[in-house]
Amino acid sequence: MAHQTVIVLDFGGQYNQLIARRVRECGVYCEVKPYKTPLAQLLEKKPIGFIFTGGPNSVYDPAAPQVDPAIFTLGLPILGICYGCQLMAQALGGEVTAAQADTAREYGKTETFYDTACTLFKGLDAQGISWMSHGDYMAQVPQGFALAAHSAACPNVAIADEDRRFYGVQFHPEVNHTQNGLAMIRNFLYGACGATGDWTMGDYKETAIRSIREKVGSGKVLLALSGGVDSSVAAALLAEAVGSQLTCVFVDHGLMRLNEGDEVEEAFSKWSINFIRVNAEGLFLHKLAGVRDPEAKRKIIGEEFIRVFEQEAKKIGQVDFLVQGTIYPDVIESGLGDAAVIKSHHNVGGLPDYVDFKEIIEPLRLLFKDEVRQLGRELGLPEYLVMRQPFPGPGLAIRVIGEVTKDKLDTLRLADFIFRDEMAKAGEDRNLDQYFAVLTNMRSVGVMGDGRTYDYTLALRAVTTDDFMTADWARIPFDLLDRTSTRIVNEVPKINRVVYDITSKPPATVEFE
């Protein structure tokens, strides 16, 4: 089934993924494409509209990204955001200049006044907060455009040409700071583009299953199951599609959280697949013995995981397809056009050379994380797996500071479980993006009962974030921290002190190592 599609044209904005996620949240399929993508290639997608993202450039700079002017002659709706708004204004005959220091330059939360007769703002409050981030100013708007929003400093916060269905906003409706921002995007999609909302994970599941069956035929499929959300949902989708033709190799390196290995195995017991659990804790701990450097830990664990997986794969024999849990942010972050490469993902840009297979399958390649979770629910995966906290590939090895031993891992596992248990009981688990415990390498004096102790300090970490590029430490209620600390020092041996990390990213990272 072909879905209605909106193209998000990326001009290097930091919120390009967020814009696309918001469109998807409105039930409309979209793809992020580099601004240099030839127009003919974009039109192959049969788009019902375009969104131009923000970007760091000034449109009047000769080297700034531009767009094929023919895009404005297609009769398709366009929403320009920040740089995208100014680009459209200049391309259609307006004038954009650097804003003066005392007027029109705006950053952060700004009181904004909207013309609710405009399609973008129809049915919304006439006044609210928008999130600004622009140092340039539309000194003259193009012919045919009306002013649709203003602030105290800027008369043309939003512009609109209703006849051509062209809209521009100098703020960012995609961020949570903008009140009714999602509703504005929805108004553009449904009011201007004529979207019908045909993008659902239930429909995607059925379409993906049919596509996988057609591709695989009678072939054999192999998947390395980590127990994380992405690989688990990919495994469930393939299990639903091809059943016993799928072999899942679950390498249990002994570095997972409490009971997670058993939970993963139980979650897949309802499908008739070949589920191989390799209990390799002893092997990994032997390789990690005496190792303290976090990068060395990561390298050892990654290489050993591949070696163990390769050994199991060779036992299976010829494999026709290898499944990877690549998701859409992996694709975007690995580089789109001139966009900066945030990080290179091992699932993107190259096929692994340690398994003999004919072709790769990436069934989640078009999905964002929240869509992956919803797809997992559609496939019947348990909520504890679908909503599993982000977990690093090296597991608890990088949450044990210094040398990793089984005793330290068992101590951390129990303390981490208590933290997560108390968070869930208080209903805070859904408010936070990541939270976990870290066993530090620091020991301190304490008093327990009538005796002196000299035991480990445990650190608790919790953050809120939109994209994990930056993160703010979470303001957890003190009584919740109190209950957690009390339980940990009473129930977990070898811990006599609990601290809470109140450092944001930057300057810190989310993980300690």
Which residues are part of the catalytic machinery? Answer: 82, 172, 174
Which residue spans within 88-135 are E strands per DSSP? Answer: 95-98, 106-114, 127-134
Helices (H), 317-471: 328-333, 369-378, 383-386, 406-425
Q: Given its phi and psi angles, is residue 310 left (phi above 0), alpha (psi -120 to 50 degrees) or beta?
A: alpha
Identify whether the C-beta of residue 141 lies closer than 8 Å to the C-beta of residue 161.
no
Distance CA 290, CA 188 (A): 58
Residue 395 falls in which region: left (phi positive, over 0), alpha (psi -120 to 50) or beta = left
Amino acid identity at 318: Q
Whole-number Å distance between alpha carbons of 121 and 249:
51
Neighbouring residues of 338: CB distance < 8 A, sequence distance ≥ 6: 12, 34, 35, 36, 65
The answer to whether the beta carbons of residues 40 and 7 sit under 8 Å apart is no
Helix/strand/coil for 97: strand
Alpha helices in 272-388 (DSSP H): 281-288, 294-316, 328-333, 369-378, 383-386
Length of the chain: 513
Q: How far apart are CA 484 and CA 475, in angstroms?
A: 15
Instruction: Give dist(CA 505, CA 21) in Å, integer.
Output: 22
CA nearest neighbour of 268 among 433, 390, 379: 379
Decide: 160 and 148 in contact? Cβ < 8 Å: yes
Q: How far apart are CA 498 and CA 501, in angstroms?
A: 10
Burial class of residue 339 in the structure, from the number of CB atoms within 10 Å of its CB (0-12 exposed, 13-18 middle, 19+ buried): buried
Could you tell me where the DSSP H helices lie in 175-274?
Answer: 181-186, 201-216, 229-242, 260-267
